[in-house]
Amino acid sequence: MATTMNPENDSLFKLLLIGDLGVGKSCLLLRFVDDKYTESPVSTIGVDSKIRTIELEDKVIKLHIWDTAGQERHHRWLPPNYYHGAHGIIVVYDITNQESFNNVKQLGLRIRSTGEAPESL
């Protein structure tokens, strides 16, 4: 039986992708939203975002996913209000780069220090 989407039932969730430079955040986003893969991605400058709409239990859910340039570990440019309103934060690291994994804890501390971290972090 086909379901009818009702815009009034739409839910919008803000998700953030963060992690070191070059760990694959943009590739992950491209694959999840557009089902595409590239061997040679272009580095994100500043912040990029995409929306993926999914249907779950007869409801339309929009995931607004923000992709960062990977400089947040150095506190260079991500202001605390960037995290405001985020429903989830996905920390990405490169399994072939131990330092990117080691930096996950530092990123978590940075997020918590903003006072804007989602409850489960």
The distance in angstroms from the start CA to the end CA of the chain is: 38
Structure tokens at 106: 């530092």
Among candidate residues 42, 60, 40, the one with its CA nearest the CA of residue 51? 60
Query: What pLDDT is attached to residue 107?
Result: 82
Domain ranges of the chain: 7-114
The pLDDT tens digits for 56-94 are: 888 999 999 998 876 655 445 567 777 888 899 899 999
Which numeric CATH code is attached to 7-114? 3.40.50.300
Q: What is the largest distance, in Å, between two alpha-carbon atoms of the chain?
A: 51
Q: pTM here?
A: 0.76
Q: What does the mean pLDDT of the chain come to?
A: 80
Query: What DSSP character marks residue 42?
Result: P
Angle, alpha carbons 43-45-46 (nearest 5°)? 140
Give me the pLDDT at residue 14, please. 93
